[in-house]
Structure 1
């Protein structure tokens, strides 16, 4: 994989970016708890089709700098990083593709800066403009204290549990939330049982699925080898309620650029409260919706589990712009 790595200064932080190809800029925004490497299967396909593909480690993640305070991981900060990154890369506009947390960042940036965003694609997480996610109070009422986004709010607890054994954490999360999880009760909301630890509901897998190798796990584990490596990523969740206020002025705006949504039918996000209804409203939220695609048997890690299908959907979308 002929991918170049370098660092770009964005809003006072140095972000590690991976890059391949020349042409119109396509920014790939990863989710939790991943890195640029989650897009490893997309680089060559998009670059060979004539695009400049750039995937950053977003603020607080992996090889990029960490912000000084929890408050600096708000949605406006994250969207601000994307807009600044477009300029720092010498481009006037970009197509944004986001997965998991990267999807709300992509949707929000497209919502606020259509002058910079040619088009936007979200994998797994549909657009919930302008706040990105429901408040923790709403989630607590629906799912209780064990719901993972609520569980993440306590400083230090999830940080330490995830960092105790990064390789095991990655194996358990990547397989547990995938379409290959042998527990047929999935997809379901990620809820930590009373008296349990965060990953108790995702046991160590007996074997890795075909789309995930031991080498892949090792790359992710290395990026999260520091004792506090998960704190920056978790701080994104610790701004969910702050985002409700910061983004309140933008209620009612629609995503006015061409859009694409792709999700697996075994993705836990698709069964969360309100998501099926939200998905039905996509043409109203994003009037230039190109397609709403469901991948059979695919879980949460869309572009890793189904790279050929995701690449085909992205290339079709890009060709239509």
Structure 2
């Protein structure tokens, strides 16, 4: 299916792989560049970069990872590990008939991309990632293990995301998504801005101004609709 976009035509495909259906969007022709988003984003977060990459002579591919947007949302948390996400990247290439691709990842998508390059160097020939550096196997305790050993389990925000109650705490996307954008931005006073080590200054607070002015309203509303989907 074709998608009308201000940056040029895009092709949308729903790919079935690894027991899930993934919403995949492409733009341009040439060597493949596969974009992998993080939290709390979706394929649209890359669309401006996709336009630039396509204009430069590449086949830009972005998708909603499992649990996001128009892709499947398995209920079992065990189906969201890095291994499953790497498998989805491999499945996308197989379904599209692509032999090799460059990976571009951000946030959790960067973690997936680094691991994909390690697990399948035959498929992924280059990696460019934002916000998350590679952690090589055998490099010692993970960041979370180090923080837990230091007694920070009740402070660092990622630990709260792992608790069963997090599902309901983040369920109202119309509130939580604009809140993440606002509190993680430069708009709030420094004394009130998000602090990853202070639960009282979490990302999960309503935005006092709704959708922040720096955000594209269409993008935000599409993301909220995607989180509200339960199928």
Which TM-score applies when normalising by structure 1? Answer: 0.62
- 2:226 corresponds to: 223
Q: In structure 1, how many angstroms separate the alpha carbons of the residues matched to 2:183 and 2:21?
A: 32
Q: In structure 2, how many angstroms separate the alpha carbons of the residues matched to 1:192 and 1:153?
A: 14
Q: In structure 1, how many angstroms separate the alpha carbons of the residues matched to 2:166 and 2:160?
A: 7
Instruction: Give RMSD over aligned pairs.
Output: 2.6
- 2:212 corresponds to: 208
- Tell whether 2:95 aligns with 1:92: no
RCO higher in structure (CA 8 A, sep ≥6) = 1
Say if 1:113 and 1:10 are closer, same or farther in 2 by CA, change over 3 A: same
Which TM-score applies when normalising by structure 2? Answer: 0.85
Say if 1:77 and 1:209 are closer, same or farther in 2 by CA, change over 3 A: same
- 1:199 corresponds to: 204
Q: 1:79 aligns with which of 86, 100, 111?
A: 86
- 1:145 corresponds to: 154
Unaligned runs of at least 5 residues, structure 2: none
Q: 1:31 aligns with which of 25, 35, 38?
A: 38
Q: In structure 1, how many angstroms separate the alpha carbons of the residues matched to 2:211 and 2:163?
A: 32
Contact kept in structure 1, 2:54 and 2:60, CA below 8 Å: yes
- 1:182 corresponds to: 188
Q: Secondary structure at the match of 2:35?
A: strand
Q: In structure 1, how many angstroms separate the alpha carbons of the residues matched to 2:196 and 2:213?
A: 22
Q: In structure 2, how many angstroms separate the alpha carbons of the residues matched to 1:71 and 1:207?
A: 32
- Tell whether 2:50 aligns with 1:43: yes
- 1:259 corresponds to: none
Contact kept in structure 2, 1:25 and 1:54, CA below 8 Å: yes
Q: Secondary structure at the match of 1:170?
A: helix
Q: In structure 1, how many angstroms separate the alpha carbons of the residues matched to 2:210 and 2:33?
A: 37
